[in-house]
Structure 1
């Protein structure tokens, strides 16, 4: 695998260009399975909605709305924002959506009970600002759930070509490195690139936003593919 080199982060048109492939090939290949534990993480960390009419749960970077059904099954009312109009064209049939910048959400302060970000932090070089926005729009006691590729075992430095083992090369410590390097041509990174943040940096983003880290989960085998966390906004 070649060494990563600095480059310009992926922009919304990149996802516009792959929206059809993402919906009809990438997602279709997964079927109803949960191979990397995304639905399991949402069930464990987002959890059931409070009793009564389903409160809104905002998904930041909702893409084609692939996770809306899992959120709805937990009793929440999913809503989503994304920058890619191509992805939102598919998402609109699954949940209410708006085109918006995740770093400047058009949502009032302290207005939501839950915010999730699923498999998007590597698409957002300014993820620290995104988490800060999530914290801003949460009500006291509200929960933020992050589900993303595992920073320790996934990235341009990780070769997952052998199903029985993951080979880790230098590069994990390169915070903020953007790359299209990938061990497979069947994924997203080689098409739109990804920004890497080591685990401490990712956790610091949540803590620096004033959220309280509560629970964690890993998904995928034999070496974890996803790392997830739940954090809450302190009560007044």
Structure 2
């Protein structure tokens, strides 16, 4: 297991990046798509555990896995969490009623593998919620300096990892990001054995996030 990119920015992420208001509706989308339930809800790439209050407020018992030891330093008191790889989750097949992945799909080199692993650990009928940056309107190809007139440049189809970013206040310029097109992302759900049920977008006037609720077939 290697050192995670987020180890170097964990303190900034917790004390500065997460300190502002949730202008793009991440917590709202997570809550609406996950819905009330009970039993363990695994957050894949839980980071500092900042989203645990949302799942707990819905009746679930949050647990987490993340590769970054630096980020996991902030999880005590929020949720029990283990250091682990999102493509090799430390849970038995078919053991969990729910799992979520919040704002991580650009952080991993192979998100389709993460979806396959999420499907493996879910019970039949178990719910999976993805909340991520919008494939069409966020990325190195999207200049969002003026929220009223987002400029989309060539690059959407490239699928490249990059640190190029329109802002120095976000994550991409610090740790880099991968990119999946919208069809590529949705195909990965289908290939993982997940049946898509609902979609949501967050942020305005041009959406910054895209969310999916799916179930294990």
Q: Sort the TM-score into its range (normalised by shorter chain).
A: over 0.9
Q: Is it true that 1:79 corresponds to 2:70 in the alignment?
A: no
Aligned pairs, number: 216
State the alpha-carbon separation in 1 of the partners of residues 22 and 18 from structure 2.
11
State the alpha-carbon separation in 2 of the partners of residues 12 and 194 from structure 1.
17
- Which shows bigger deviation, 99-108 or 40-49? 40-49
Show structure 1 runs of 5+ residues with no match.
1-10
Residue in 2 aligned with 1:15? 6
State the alpha-carbon separation in 2 of the partners of residues 118 and 13 from structure 1.
17
User: TM-score, normalised on structure 2?
Assistant: 0.97
Note closer, same or farther for the CA distance 1:35–1:12 as it changes in structure 2 (3 Å cut). farther
Indicate if the aligned counterparts of 2:64 and 2:82 stay in contact, CA closer than 8 A: yes
User: TM-score, normalised on structure 1?
Assistant: 0.89
Residue in 2 aligned with 1:194? 177
State the alpha-carbon separation in 2 of the partners of residues 174 and 92 from structure 1.
39
- Aligned to 2:112, which of 128, 131, 153? 128
- Aligned to 1:165, which of 127, 137, 149? 149
Q: State the shift of 1:48 in Å.
A: 0.7
Show structure 2 runs of 5+ residues with no match.
none
Residue in 2 aligned with 1:182? 165
Deviations 1:176-224 (A, max 9, x none): x100000100000000000000000000110000110110000001100
Residue in 2 aligned with 1:212? 195
Deviations 1:152-185 (A, max 9, x none): 000000000012111000000112x100000100
Residue in 2 aligned with 1:7? none
**Aligned-CA RMSD value:** 1.0
| Runs of 4 or more above 6 Å deviation | none
Q: State the shift of 1:38 in Å.
A: 1.0
State the alpha-carbon separation in 2 of the partners of residues 196 and 102 from structure 1.
17
State the alpha-carbon separation in 2 of the partners of residues 135 and 66 from structure 1.
23
